[in-house]
């Protein structure tokens, strides 16, 4: 299976990027990123969806995707300020913007990448200063208890402080009788509260997180 644009060919069978028949060095992640953008063209793909597809079940820094995009652009002689191939969609993600030939991905690797991408269309996340954590379907308990997946070992946080229930793409925040309260913005919640993309959550006095939907607009900004 191949994608062709200008004198470049992305060969998915040999896992190579070619230019006029010559191999262009590009990392495996770079090949995966280029493949995903070509497959989704001309649709824009969110940064969250790209990160989950490229680094499944792994927390990566905010600059990892930007660095990878820069590497791919360098390989195909593209520039962020005057893009021929990869366009930055401000406050959202990236899109392949040039003319290309190639059909649906039929390789095992391509189908796996497509499945990973589809699995996060309704995914929900919490972003903190320590990174991002995906919320699973059902109840996600936040607190100080060592057994919790979403553990916040900070003063003022109760052992089982609050819960976020995710169901069919909706997320409901509930305080679990904490001493110092659970807040959305500046408002202390008194009952189950529906979360929206970009809502700032606070547990007690010191723990702050931002709720994200996978396809929601992101506030991350970068130079290109």
Q: What is the CATH number of the domain that holds 95?
A: 1.10.10.10
The number of residues in the chain equals 224
Co-location of 114 and 10 in the same domain: yes
Order the strands of the 86-89 sheet from edge to edge. Answer: 45-46, 93-96, 86-89
Cα angle: 120, vertex 54, 149; to 5 degrees = 60
Q: Residue 125 to residues 76, 171, 178: CA-CA distances in angstroms? A: 33, 10, 22
Residue 85 lies in a domain: yes
Residue 220 lies in a domain: no
Least confident of 117-121, 150-154, 156-160, 204-208: 117-121
Helices in 41-139 by DSSP H: which ranges?
Answer: 47-54, 64-75, 108-118
What percent of the chain is modeled with pLDDT above 90? 51
Task: Give the predicted TM-score (pTM) of the model.
Answer: 0.51
| Residue 142: Cβ within 10 Å count | 28
Co-location of 148 and 70 in the same domain: no
Q: Reply yes or no: is the peptide bond before residue 42 cis, omega within 30 of 0.
A: yes
| Number of independent structural domains in the chain | 2
Least confident of 106-110, 135-139, 171-175, 206-210: 106-110
Q: Domain range spanning residue 157?
A: 124-213
Co-location of 111 and 133 in the same domain: no
Give Cα 134 to chain centroid, integer Å.
10
């Amino acid at each position: 299976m191949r994608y062709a644009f200008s004198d470049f060919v992305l060969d998915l069978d040999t896992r190579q990027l070619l230019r006029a028949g010559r191999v262009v060095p590009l990392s495996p992640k770079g090949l995966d990123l280029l493949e995903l953008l070509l497959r989704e063209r001309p649709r824009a793909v969110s940064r969250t969806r790209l990160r989950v597809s490229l680094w499944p079940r792994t927390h990566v820094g905010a600059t990892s995707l930007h660095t990878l995009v820069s590497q791919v652009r360098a390989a195909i002689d593209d520039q962020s300020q005057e893009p021929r191939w990869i366009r930055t969609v401000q406050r959202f993600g990236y899109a392949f913007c040039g003319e290309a030939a190639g059909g649906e991905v039929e390789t095992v690797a391509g189908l796996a990448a497509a499945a990973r991408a589809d699995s996060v269309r309704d995914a929900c996340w919490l972003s903190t200063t320590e990174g991002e954590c995906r919320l699973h379907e059902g109840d996600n308990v936040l607190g100080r208890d060592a057994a919790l997946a979403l553990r916040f070992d900070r003063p003022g946080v109760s052992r089982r402080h609050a819960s976020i229930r995710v169901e069919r793409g909706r997320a409901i925040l509930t305080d679990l009788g904490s001493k110092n309260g659970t807040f959305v913005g500046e408002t202390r919640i008194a009952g189950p509260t529906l979360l929206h993309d970009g809502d700032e959550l606070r547990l007690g006095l010191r723990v702050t997180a931002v709720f994200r939907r996978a396809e929601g607009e992101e506030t991350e900004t970068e130079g290109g």
